[in-house]
Amino acid sequence: MLKLYNSLSRTKEEFKPIKEGQVKMYTCGPTVYWYAHIGNMRAYIFMDILRRVLKYNGYKVNGVMNITDVGHKTSDEDAGEDKMVVAATREHKSVYKIAEFYTKHFMEDIQALNIGKPEHIVKATEHIKEMQQIVMTLLKKGFAYELDDGIYFDVSKFPSYGSLSGIKADDRLAGARVEINEQKRNPADFALWKKAEPNHIMQWESPWGMGYPGWHIECSAMSRKYLGDHFDIHTGGIDHLTIHHENEIAQNDCSCGHKSVNYWIHSEFLLVDGGKMSKSLGNVYTVPELVSRGFKALDYRYFCLNTHYHNKLNFTFAGLDSAKIGYERLRNLVLLHKTGENKVNAETLEKYHALFLDAINDDLNLPKALGIVWEMLKTEEKSEDIYNLTVEFDSVFGLDLDKAEVENQKQEIPQIVVELANQRLLARKNKDFALSDKLREELKQNGYAVKDNALGYELTKI
Ligand code: AMP
Ligand code: ZN
């Protein structure tokens, strides 16, 4: 039985699809105004793992992900400038060229990370009509109203507004730093459609004059076009829960007249060095950047899989180094089994299979599932049966374990050595140099020399 944590009920629930054997799932995609960073990629790795687990359980998945190429303001609360317009001005390119450029990079990154593409990847700018239709329905049903600068959703007409986050409409925006439109009926009312100034770069004809959509309406229009008015799962990063997803629920439920999504599932944030990634700190890393520093994209995937999606994950280069070493060791063990001649009895294999299934079906407990694979691979008698089962499990991990190559064998570093090196790194961080020297000596006794570098450390065999 597959259990998933539903942000709507704030509990782990048994997953029951609307239609037997099928899952309709929507994921908020990237705003293509800049390179996607490794935090964004954590959200898409989560989406991918969920899709893989659903497929492992025999479901046919129909997934949709949007590409936001218009309408996402620099603040989620409709304030600031359109991120796409800012990028076009910065790079002296058309908005469409910007979207094309960063979408291409995004696609390359997800491919490098083995993130399977959802069945439909769709652009906001190609769904303007569908967005306008929902706005018209909301106006007709009395959930929206027109102001000088656009059409707004009236949150007071939707009493359950805020039920996803637990933040009621009345408690919103008090003291927030957004420019409040004085004409709005309620501070939390949000723009469905904005009327454009004559010189605004992107604008379309509409029943309300030339204009452009609000960001939230995009996801409503694209999810419903491809998945219908009622679908199973909606995913996104945790930062979208309080505003973007509340607004999607309001738009969908009020225009269709019923609940539109059964399970809302959110992935937690990636921190860098314990804090937020920010350009000013110079710590907004991308996948190609990790690769240029000597990592494989899949080292980062392995790094992510070791933390449950529901927990914050702190990125450091030392952590990524450990993941790289762990992943290498894993591949080496897989290789040893590939040519293993021992037979493993069916009962033992079934035991591992059951443990694995329990772990992934317990709200995608991938760290536990990986632990089970490690345990299985550490079996003394190497066996092709274990190799085959590992490759089957890898349909969920997506770590290319069947492609492990012999060359990795020579690089295997004993776990004890990695642990000592990590302890030493920590000691250095804490400026405990006496301990650090002691650990260097212990490493030497274990046959390894350690050298510090910008990424943490490098180990070489003496
Ligand atoms: P955006 O393009 O800003 O809408 O972000 C794309 C996806 O990445 C969304 O699902 C966000 O919630 C997610 N995201 C943004 N920053 C981070 C982060 N630091 N860690 C994890 N996910 C993030
Ligand atoms: Zn969205």
pLDDT tens digit string along 213-238? 998 999 999 999 999 999 999 999 99
pLDDT confidence tier of residue 408, bands split at 50, 70 and 90: very low
Quick: pLDDT tens for 326-340. Answer: 999 999 999 999 999
Instruction: Count CB-CB contacts under 10 A for residue 366.
Output: 23
Tell me, in angstroms, the distance from the centre of ligand 1 to residue 62's CA.
Answer: 22
Ligand 1, pocket-test mutation among 113, 239, 300, 308, most atoms within 8 A of CB:
239
- Cα separation, 328 vs 409, whole angstroms: 8
- Name the phi and psi angles at 273, rounded to 5: 50, 40
Ligand showing the shortest atom-to-Cα distance for residue 234: 2
Name the closest ligand to CA 34.
1
Q: What pLDDT is attached to residue 307?
A: 98
d(CA 261, CA 248): 10
| pLDDT tens-digit readout, 414-436 | 888 888 988 998 898 888 999 99
pLDDT class for 250, splitting at 50, 70, 90?
Answer: very high
Separation of alpha carbons 431 and 34, rounded Å: 37
The mean predicted confidence, pLDDT, of the chain is: 92
Cα 103 to ligand 2 centre (Å): 16
Instruction: Quote the CA–CA distance of 260 and 126 in Å, as a whole number.
Output: 22
Tell me which amino acid residue 340 is: G
Q: Give me the DSSP letters along 307-350.
A: S-TTS-EEE-HHHHHHHHHHHHHHHHHHHHHHT-B----HHHHH
How many helices (H) and strands (E) in the chain? 14, 15
Q: How far apart are CA 167 and CA 171, in angstroms?
A: 7
SS3 of the chain: helix, strand, coil, percent, to 5:
45, 20, 35
pLDDT-derived band at 410 (thresholds 50, 70, 90) equals: very low
Tens of pLDDT, residue by residue over 24-38, are 999 999 999 889 999
pLDDT at position 286 is 95
**CB-CB contact of 290 with 320 (8 Å):** yes
Q: What is the pLDDT of residue 240?
A: 95
**Measured in angstroms, how far is the CA atom of residue 72 from the centroid of ligand 2?**
10
Which atom of ligand 1 sits closest to the CA of residue 237?
12
pLDDT in tens, 257-289: 999 999 999 999 999 989 988 777 788 999 999
How large is the average pLDDT for residues 311-323? 97
Which of 50-54, 187-191, 314-318, 392-396 shows the lowest mean pLDDT across its residues? 187-191
pLDDT at position 168 is 82
Specify the pTM.
0.86
Site of tokens 């995608």: 364
